[in-house]
Structure 1
Amino acid sequence: MHVFADQANFDAYVSGFLWILKLTGAAAVLALLLGVLLAAFRVSPVPVLRGLGTAWVNIFRNTPLTLIIFFCYFGLFSTLGLSLAEDLDLNNYWLGVVGLSVYTASFVCEAVRSGINTVPNGQAEAARAIGLSFFQTLRIVVLPQAGRAVVAPLGSVLIALCKNATIVGTIGLMESSSVMKDLINSNGDAVIAIFAVFAGTFAALLIPTGYFFGWLANRLAVKR
């Protein structure tokens, strides 16, 4: 553990995990909003919207995340000149958030759609019978009930997102995996210790998260 006794190494370790948490938080919010919208498209009575939602899910869910992150950097930023911030690290961060969000939204969409399918058809029929539109029915009647059924799946998506956030290091952001690589390169005699610290930190973050979502899912489960 002498590696982390060096203040510079310890600061890099903390900074790397802070970037991971920032990436996870921002991408989770955007992916949830986009995923719910895509789920609404997928169950919409409008064929164009259903086709758009289906195409999004099929394309992004079956495209490697690394390719999406590379496209955001080399396609949107380097080739098309799309800059999301003046600072390079901040720009790479937002490009990473975009890539993670559009990818994760496809999984959120399917999780939410599965929750929508658990709501009895009679609920939607009753809502339409009193004059609610499709989106009003979805927002007021269906989604609040579906949300209780998808807590555990969304928790799994969040955990996967946190781990996937390490891929953003491939475009130059010094998140945890990049910091670990640099520490291993400069401290070859402490490879196992460095790996144990980084892997242990992820485990300390994600194992309690998994238990929390499992508890929350049981607490909110609808007893039928």
Structure 2
Amino acid sequence: MTSQTAFVRHALLPEKAPPKPEGKRHLPRRQLLAWIAFAFLALAVLQDVATNERFQWDVFGRYLFDPVVLRGFATTLWLTVVTMAIGVVLGIALAIMRVSPLLPLRAFSAGYLWIFRGTPVLVQLILWYNLAALYPRYGIGIPFTGITFFEGSFNDLITPYTAAILGLGLNEGAYMAEIVRAGLESVGRGQREAAAAMGLGPGKTMRLIILPQAMRFIVPPTGNQTIGMLKNTSIVSIVALWDLLYSVQTIYSRTFQTIPLLLVACAWYLVATSVLSALQARIERHYNRGHSPRGT
């Protein structure tokens, strides 16, 4: 190798950086001080909470696994599952209507979203619970003929359970419709054109091509909606439905131990939301397989 060639290679190729000496990594001084301050503050808060007798931790421990509380917690979980199932199914149907070429379907979907997103869910829940004031009786038959096959009273039909399911489920469907619509529109038009070229009809295209790709964008906000729904079920106590909040309310209205029983409710809500968050992360990883993280 000539000296000229060696000079060119030395000039064009950067020298390797010398290896860093091995040893213990030390935190930067500012970061170390921040950790010390955080630990001191956390210990001070924990010490205050643990020693404050007004929290009544003995009462908290006594009622944490009380059968009445566990029954209310089970109702909260059941109500979350049912209303989210209704919301997801209804949301998919409404989202498909929103992107439909048929104007009546788009108009119906837009009107539904306008009503249910534009009014508070608590107001809707109370309206459903008092539906018998508008329609005391209902009937199933042939319209405009006076022929009725079955009839009954709305007072018997609208129980606290049905009012809660209708109020929360129908409201959730409006929000899920926007989530699903955004997911569907995230799939490029070329996918639809390719499916049409393969001879797939609109139904199969939606089921086999569009929805599987849109799930990556639908799952994260749906998980957030599920966690939000779990907490929103607490408003059903207004119609005397025996959920988690209502169960602790019935106890502290009798014992006047409000704070520890509210902490019991908070503890179970935190357990449920933590499990749902872990499930959401697992489902997101499943649908993100084969996709690089953003920014990489």
**TM-score by structure 1 length?**
0.87
Q: Which residue does the alignment assign to 2:135? A: 80
Q: Which residue does the alignment assign to 1:36? A: 92
Identify which of 207, 229, 236 aligns with 1:161: 229
Distance 1:152 1:6, change over 3 A: closer
Distance 1:54 1:79, change over 3 A: closer
The offset of 1:191, in angstroms, is 2.2
Is 2:111 aligned against 1:55? Answer: yes
**Greater strand share, 1 or 2?**
2
Q: Which residue does the alignment assign to 2:59? A: 2
Q: Which residue does the alignment assign to 1:121? A: 189
Q: Confirm or deny: 8 A CA contact 1:38 1:53 kept in the other structure.
A: yes
Q: Confirm or deny: 8 A CA contact 2:60 2:263 kept in the other structure.
A: no
Cα-Cα RMSD: 2.5
Q: Which residue does the alignment assign to 1:96? A: 164
Distance 2:268 2:59 in 1: 17
- Gaps in structure 1 of 5+ consecutive residues: none
Q: Confirm or deny: 8 A CA contact 1:20 1:165 kept in the other structure.
A: yes
Q: Which one-letter code corresponds to 1:137 in the other structure?
A: T
Q: Confirm or deny: 8 A CA contact 1:111 1:150 kept in the other structure.
A: yes
**Greater helix share, 1 or 2?**
1
- Gaps in structure 2 of 5+ consecutive residues: 1-57, 139-152
The count of corresponding residues between Structure 1 and Structure 2 is 219
Provide the secondary structure at the position in 2 that maps to 1:44. coil
Distance 1:129 1:73, change over 3 A: same
Could you report, residue by residue, the CA deviation over 1:160-190 in whole angstroms, capped at 9, with x for unpaired residues?
A: 11111121221121212222222222222x3
The offset of 1:28, in angstroms, is 1.4
Q: Which residue does the alignment assign to 1:182? A: 250
Could you report, residue by residue, the CA deviation over 1:46-79 in whole angstroms, capped at 9, with x for unpaired residues?
A: 111112112212221121011111111102x454
Identical pairs, percent: 26
Q: Which one-letter code corresponds to 1:211 in the other structure?
A: A
Distance 1:85 1:194 in 2: 33
Provide the secondary structure at the position in 2 that maps to 1:150. helix
Q: Which residue does the alignment assign to 2:265? A: 198
Distance 2:157 2:108 in 1: 34
Distance 2:63 2:192 in 1: 61
Q: Confirm or deny: 8 A CA contact 1:159 1:206 kept in the other structure.
A: yes
Identify which of 198, 218, 228 aligns with 1:130: 198
Q: Confirm or deny: 8 A CA contact 2:63 2:264 kept in the other structure.
A: no
**TM-score by structure 2 length?**
0.67
Distance 1:70 1:185 in 2: 23
